[in-house]
Amino acid sequence: MRFFLSVILIALLSAAAEYFFPWWAVAVVAFVVSAFIRQKPGKSFLAGFSGIGMFWLTACLVHDSANGHILSARMAALFHLPNYVLFIVVTVFVGGLVGGLSAWAGALIRPKTD
């Protein structure tokens, strides 16, 4: 249950943070959520990866369909990718890695209470 709570909190708080702050605010959100919700580091990584990945996928699809895939097609051409869908996949993967690594770090700063 904590895993799903972490994923949802990370996704929603990241959406709010990106409205006011730069793109890297999602890393701070994932770090703080994982520091407060006690989980194993592996589960925290997956929660951060999933939460930020879901948020960035939703944001990419909303913004990309609004402009007719023009920007993502041009960026895909710039990076020599065959189509804009692959560019979106790479973008979501990079965002997921940022969220996962920061959530992992947030889980590791908690002291062990064994």
- Choose among 36, 46, 23: nearest CA to 106: 36
Is 100 a domain residue?
Answer: yes
- Choose among 64, 53, 48: nearest CA to 93: 53
pLDDT at 111: 75
Is 47 a domain residue?
Answer: yes
pLDDT at 113: 63
Neighbours of 19 (CB within 10 A): 8
User: Residue 43 is part of which domain span?
Assistant: 2-109
Is 114 a domain residue?
Answer: no
Is 102 a domain residue?
Answer: yes
Domain count, the chain: 1
* Residues 105, 58, 18, 16, CA torsion sign: negative
Is 104 a domain residue?
Answer: yes
Could you list the pLDDT tens digit for every one of the 114 residues in the chain? 889 999 999 999 999 999 999 999 999 999 999 999 999 999 999 999 999 999 999 999 999 999 899 999 999 999 999 999 999 999 999 999 999 999 999 999 987 765
Is 27 a domain residue?
Answer: yes
Is 99 a domain residue?
Answer: yes
Is 35 a domain residue?
Answer: yes
Alpha carbons 16 and 39: distance in angstroms, whole number: 23
